[in-house]
Every structure is written in C-alpha cells, then in structure tokens.
C-alpha cells in the first residue's frame, strides 16, 4: 500500500512519551516478523496499530509484553528499558495486554478470572484490590451479574469484557488490546470501543492493534499501518482516514 498524504509521525500528540520503540526486530526462532520497527505512544493517547492478518500486530504486542524476546532494538517505557524483561516485571512496571481471542480461564469463575489479573498485587498484599474489583463490575455490569459463573459460559462479548477487566486489575498505565473486535457482533463492538474511549478519558493510555480500521481510527488520536512487519505509514488518525490509499485498503471506500 502506498499512502498518498501520510508522512512518518513519530512524536506523540501529548508531548510526553510513555512508550518508545526504535529499530525493533523480533520473531519466532529463525522466522523474523518485525523489521526495524519504530513507534511512540504518548501519555494519555490512544494509538492504533492497523494491518491485515499476519502483518505483525500480535508479534509487536507480545514483544512489548515480554512474551517474545526481541532480536534487536530498543523498547522503553517511561524512559526505562523493558526490552527482554520477564513478562511479570513488565506488568509490574505498568503495562498490561488484552490478548487476541480473549483467552479467559474457562474453568474459573468471572470473579476468579478478575482476581488472577491482580496476582502481583495480591502477593504484595495490596488492600485496594477489592476496590478495583468493584470498579470493574461498575464498568461492566454484566460481569457483576455473572460474578459466580464460569467464564467459559459467557458470551463472546462478555468474555471480551472479562479479558479487559482482568487486565485492568493490574492497574496498568498502558493498556494494550489485540484485536478486541474479533468475532463480535457489531453492537457489541460498538460497546467495547465506547469502553476503550471511557478508559482513556479516565487516564489510561491505550495501544490498540486492530483490523477494524474504521472503528480504531474513530477513537485513536494517531495511527500506524503495519505491513509485513514494517511501518509503512504513520499519521494523525484524521489524516489516515482521509488518505485515499488507506480508504481503499482498509476502510472499504
């Protein structure tokens, strides 16, 4: 894809960089996926990572999260390197991910799934965990009504709410979501994206990897387009929405 009016746009709109990635190479064994990737996320922003299936979006989020070790490059969160750190240390630093496909613990109850998201805080005997559990139930009333039910019995939309709530229980400052609209009905997708906006208004910085470019660019301030593991365009969301090449390739125009 060639974007006619987009230019590299690496500086966050907020002016304060929370996440900075430069020269990142990562993959699986000998299979390279990400190639010299660079991006920034500013404090308080919603930044969208757009791309087709297989473009490298999940690999990017898994590398930031510590689930994949980078081959080369720099990943800094709040000015400190997190490249190659253990996943639990990255969570403790303030970064949480909602994985593609939700991956709730089906044999556990809704309440137990949420509690699992706070496991590091529970180890530290954080007394505010119950307060945050109440906040998640207020954010997602269907979860409060099903707190004692097994997660595997929930609908797809409810499981997505549960996956987001579980990530929030770690009290992240950067919340990363991998394909939150996947497999959900349009009405549910709309509710999930309204929740994303609401969380951002409450001060949570969000990195959103999503194939549904139309919805992602409606809520994001900036966006990056990923193809074959490389950034091919980066611009404010409004600029990407107006770009004819983006419209044709991702917006169905």
Q: How many CB atoms lie under 10 A from the CB of residue 214?
A: 13
Q: Tell me which of 3.40.50.300, 3.40.718.10, 3.30.465.10, 2.60.40.420 is the CATH number of domain 17-107+171-250.
A: 3.40.50.300
The pTM of the full predicted model, rounded to 2 decimals, is 0.89
**Cα torsion for 173, 174, 177, 178, to the nearest 10°?**
-150
Q: Quick one: DSSP state of residue 1?
A: -
pLDDT, tens digit, for every residue of 170-210?
999 999 999 999 888 999 999 999 999 999 999 999 999 99
Q: Where are the domains of the chain?
A: 17-107+171-250
Please give the pLDDT value at position 11: 58
Burial classification of residue 27, based on how many CB atoms lie within 10 Å of its CB (0-12 exposed, 13-18 middle, 19 or more buried): middle
Phi and psi (nearest 5°) for 231?
A: -75, 125
pLDDT band of 249, cuts 50, 70, 90: confident
Contact 103, 177 (CB under 8 A): no
d(CA 44, CA 184): 27
pLDDT, tens digit, for every residue of 12-50?
665 699 999 999 999 998 788 999 999 999 999 999 999
Quick check: helix, strand or coil at residue 132? Answer: helix
pLDDT, tens digit, for every residue of 117-166?
998 877 777 778 889 999 999 999 999 999 999 999 999 999 999 999 99
Longest dimension (CA), the chain: 54
- HSE-up (13 A, CA, CB side) for residue 135: 16
pLDDT, tens digit, for every residue of 153-170?
999 999 999 999 999 999
């Amino acid at each position: 894809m060639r974007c006619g009016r987009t230019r590299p746009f690496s500086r966050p709109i907020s002016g304060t960089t929370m996440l900075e990635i430069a020269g990142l190479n990562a993959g699986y064994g000998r299979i390279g996926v990400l190639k010299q990737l660079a991006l920034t996320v500013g404090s308080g922003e919603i930044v969208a990572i757009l791309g087709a299936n297989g473009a490298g979006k999940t690999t990017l989020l898994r590398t930031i999260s510590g689930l994949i070790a980078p081959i080369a490059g720099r990943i800094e969160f709040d000015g400190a390197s997190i490249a190659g750190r253990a996943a639990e240390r990255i969570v403790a630093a303030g970064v949480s991910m909602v994985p593609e496909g939700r991956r709730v613990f089906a044999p556990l109850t809704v309440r137990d799934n949420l509690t699992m998201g706070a496991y590091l805080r529970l180890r530290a005997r954080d007394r505010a965990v119950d307060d945050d559990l109440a906040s998640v139930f207020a954010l997602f009333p269907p979860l409060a009504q099903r707190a004692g039910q097994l997660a595997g019995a929930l609908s797809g939309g409810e499981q997505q709410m549960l996956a987001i709530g579980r990530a929030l229980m770690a009290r992240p400052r950067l919340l990363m979501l991998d394909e939150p609209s996947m497999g959900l009905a349009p009405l549910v997708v709309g509710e999930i994206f309204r929740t994303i906006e609401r969380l951002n208004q409450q001060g949570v910085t969000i990195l959103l990897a999503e194939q549904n470019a139309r919805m992602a660019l409606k809520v994001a301030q900036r966006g990056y387009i990923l193809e074959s593991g490389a950034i091919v365009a980066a611009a404010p969301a409004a600029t990407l929405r107006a770009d004819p090449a983006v419209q044709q390739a991702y917006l169905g125009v």
